[in-house]
């Protein structure tokens, strides 16, 4: 959810983001076609910064929570928590619209609709790109873990963001409007790398959950850079020319129709080859409205890198 909320905000923004421009150009039309620009998330996530209800970012239960786990946590959010967060949102925005007022009056009855929309958004905006996104997040975690092991946690926290400082067993955050003390915070501290959260820090402090700090992961600047395959002929000898062509075209997730148009292969042929690639674990399929988007898996990325080495 730490990728869902900031990425949705980015799609709603009127400004162009230099790093994520190609992703925005691909996903925004799908968002509009699915009607998500007029749905629950559109009202819960302000477009220009500010507070996002905490129940949309449940405390993760482990280092790699699944969408299903976080969706279930949203649905299970206590009614008092939902009302408190919506009241806080109303203070920021001035008022709540009819849909959010209904959610405030009946959280247990309507949270399922919010969770359903989250799942729809995930399928069209993030799931087709998750292999790339997850690789950046995992690389950041590996870097931070090594930093902590070699130089200590204090060095890790001082390196995390310019607004953070660790000194004399105290972690300080510059420009935070309200102080956060150990007596008012939950136990521990969760550091959450994010591809979409932007250059600033975002926080979630809802005791008894541990405080959460979401920060921009290292390597985000190269997230959408093209990854050309320089020796597709070597891979063609193993997979066949058409299957290799489809894998290279899936640099950007695409539907069967789009792939047929871009490659000149027949629709039936593309469908047959994609089925074979999916059965081999090289391609994944994701529902996006009436279309199905195909994307390369981690295994395919490894195979393509090996072939181009």
- Span of 40-44, 210-214, 274-278 with lowest mean pLDDT: 210-214
Residues 55-59 have a mean pLDDT of 90
Q: Out of 54-63, 106-115, 173-182, 208-217, pick the least confident.
A: 173-182
Residues 120 and 206 in one domain: no
Domain identity same for 87 and 103? yes
pLDDT, position 10:
92
Cβ neighbours of 182 (radius 10 Å): 10
| Nearest partner of 247 among 283, 287, 288, 291, judged by Cα | 283
For 256-291, the three-class secondary structure string (H helix, E strand, C coil) is HHHHHHHHCCCHHHHHHHHHHHHHCCCEEEEEECCE
Whether residue 230 has pLDDT greater than 70: no
What is residue 56's predicted lDDT score, i.e. its pLDDT?
Answer: 93
CATH number for the domain including 262?
1.10.10.10
* pLDDT at residue 290, as a whole number: 76
Query: Helix H segments across 163-297?
Result: 232-239, 241-249, 256-263, 267-279
**Within a domain: 212:** yes
Least confident of 3-12, 87-96, 200-209: 200-209
- Same domain (yes/no): 68, 164: no
Whether residue 229 is predicted with pLDDT greater than 60 in this model: the reply is no
Residue 142 and residue 208 in one domain: yes
The average pLDDT across 279-308 equals 86
Q: What is the pLDDT of residue 111?
A: 96
Residue found under tokens 């027949």: 266
78, 105, 129: which is the final residue of a domain? 129
pLDDT value of residue 98: 92
Q: What is the domain extent for residue 89?
A: 4-129
pLDDT > 90? residue 110: yes
Of 97, 129, 161, which closes a domain? Answer: 129
Residue 231 pLDDT: 66
Q: Could you tell me if residue 194 is inside a domain?
A: yes
Rounded alpha-carbon distances, angstroms, from residue 308 to 134, 233, 302:
22, 10, 10
Res 35: pLDDT: 92
Amino acid 189: pLDDT: 87
In a domain, residue 198? The reply is yes
Number of domains in the chain: 3
Residue 268 lies in a domain: yes
Is position 300 within any domain? yes
Last residue of a domain, one of 129, 159, 185: 129
Whether residue 94 is predicted with pLDDT greater than 90 in this model: the reply is no
Are 247 and 140 within one domain? no
Q: What is the pLDDT of residue 174?
A: 83
Percent of the chain topping pLDDT 90: 45
Report the SS3 class of residue 103: helix
pLDDT tier for residue 276 given thresholds of 50, 70 and 90 = very high
Q: What is the pLDDT of residues 19-45, one digit of tens each?
A: 899 999 999 999 999 999 999 999 999
Helix %, strand %, coil % of the chain (to 5): 55, 10, 35
Residue 80 has pLDDT above 90, yes or no: yes
Is residue 251 domain-shared with residue 269, that is, in the same domain?
yes
What is the structure's pLDDT at 304? 86
Pick the closest to residue 64 from 137, 136, 126 (CA basis).
Answer: 137
Say whether both 123 and 153 belong to one domain: no
100 and 163 together in one domain: no
Asked if residue 50 lies in contact with residue 107, where contact means CB atoms within 8 angstroms, the answer is no
What is the model's pLDDT at position 40? 95
Q: What pLDDT score was predicted for residue 11?
A: 92
For 120-170, how does the pLDDT look when each residue is reduced to its tens digit (9 = 90+)?
999 999 999 998 898 899 999 989 988 888 888 888 999 998 889 888 788
> Is the pLDDT at 307 greater than 90, yes or no?
no
pLDDT category at 227 given cuts 50, 70, 90 is low
Same domain (yes/no): 182, 256 = no
Alpha-carbon distance of 248 to 244, in angstroms, equals 6
């Amino acid at each position: 959810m730490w990728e869902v909320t900031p990425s949705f905000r980015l799609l709603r923004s009127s400004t162009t983001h230099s790093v994520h421009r190609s992703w925005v150009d691909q996903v925004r039309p799908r968002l509009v076609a699915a009607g998500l620009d007029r749905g629950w998330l559109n009202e819960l996530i302000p477009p220009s910064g500010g507070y996002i209800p905490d129940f949309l970012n449940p405390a993760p239960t482990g280092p790699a929570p699944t969408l299903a786990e976080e969706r279930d946590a949203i649905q299970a959010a206590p009614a008092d928590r939902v009302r408190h967060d919506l009241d806080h949102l109303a203070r920021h925005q001035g008022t709540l619209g009819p849909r959010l007022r209904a959610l405030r009056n009946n959280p247990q009855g309507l949270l399922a609709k919010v969770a359903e929309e989250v799942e729809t958004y995930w399928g069209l905006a993030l799931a087709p790109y998750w292999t790339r996104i997850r690789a950046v997040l995992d690389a950041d975690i590996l870097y931070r873990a090594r930093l902590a092991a070699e130089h200590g946690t204090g060095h890790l926290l001082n390196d995390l963001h310019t607004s953070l400082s660790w000194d004399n067993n105290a972690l300080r955050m510059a420009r935070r409007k309200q102080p956060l003390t150990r007596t008012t915070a939950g136990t521990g501290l969760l550091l959450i790398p994010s591809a979409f959260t932007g250059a600033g820090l975002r926080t979630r402090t809802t005791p008894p959950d541990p405080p959460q700090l979401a920060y921009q992961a290292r390597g985000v600047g190269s997230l959408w850079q093209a990854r050309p395959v320089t020796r597709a002929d070597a891979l063609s000898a193993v997979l066949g020319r058409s299957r290799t062509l489809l894998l290279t075209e899936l640099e950007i997730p695409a539907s069967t129709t789009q792939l047929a148009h871009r490659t000149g292969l027949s629709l039936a042929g593309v469908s047959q080859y994609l089925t074979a690639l999916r059965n081999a674990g090289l391609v994944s399929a994701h529902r996006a409205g009436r279309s199905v988007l195909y994307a390369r898996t981690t295994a395919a990325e490894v195979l393509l890198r090996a072939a181009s080495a």
